[in-house]
Chain A
């Protein structure tokens, strides 16, 4: 039941931000909404309700590494698409592995080693 509720809340938040990205022009501005904190808002609101504020704050601290990895991901996607013009679907999907690698590396050095 908890998962169904999470699914609905997450879907609604992501869809709401995606609508902004759809109706705004120019594309570079609309692209800002591609990195909107939609999943974060949904998850943190639910986490505060179920596990408390301190638990959610720890998640937010790790989110710093995820956000830095998102920057690297989006930057690489931009360079790749401009210069080499690969398929948008394949290149942006494969680059998710880069996001994972960067996020886990940052997490390991800044949060796990510090713990």
Chain B
């Protein structure tokens, strides 16, 4: 199965759905900072991998799939939840990529330029996540 770009999906997403993601992202970043200040960086660091926007994303995916089936005259409730499950499967692989991200930042940040380390860590997240996704496609 090939990866495709579906730019039409941007117009299917309503403005308030973008706003919800922005709001959750902003709030979690603020709360993570407050937790780190109050309880220290070892506790605050946990929340760098808090699945903040996942419930909103899974809900939107399920709702879009349900609406698509509804327009075709089918009750798409179960299909919507299957679509959310697929989203969760992808997120589980992305979470393994997050482990690579965190390990790279932890090991290399103290002695190397911050911007380079963060970029390398983000690239490692992408490489690990995509490789695992591809591996799963091959082994299936």
A interface vs B, CB < 8 Å?
2-3, 6-15, 18-19, 21-48, 51, 53-71, 73-75, 77-78, 81-82, 85-89, 92-93, 96, 99, 103-104, 107, 111-112, 115
Chain B residues, Cβ within 8 Å of A51? 41
Interface residues on B, range: 35 or more
Beta-carbon nearest neighbor of B40 in chain A: A58
Q: Report B121 CB to chain A, min CB distance, Å.
A: 7
Q: B67 within 8 Å of A by Cβ?
A: no
State A6–B6 Cα separation when bound (angstroms).
Answer: 31
State A22–B21 Cα separation when bound (angstroms).
Answer: 12
Chain B residues, Cβ within 8 Å of A96? 51, 55
A37 contact from B86, B125, B130, Cβ within 8 A: B125
Do the beta carbons of B27 and A7 come within 8 Å of each other? yes
A75 contact from B25, B92, B133, Cβ within 8 A: B92
Q: B30 within 8 Å of A by Cβ?
A: yes
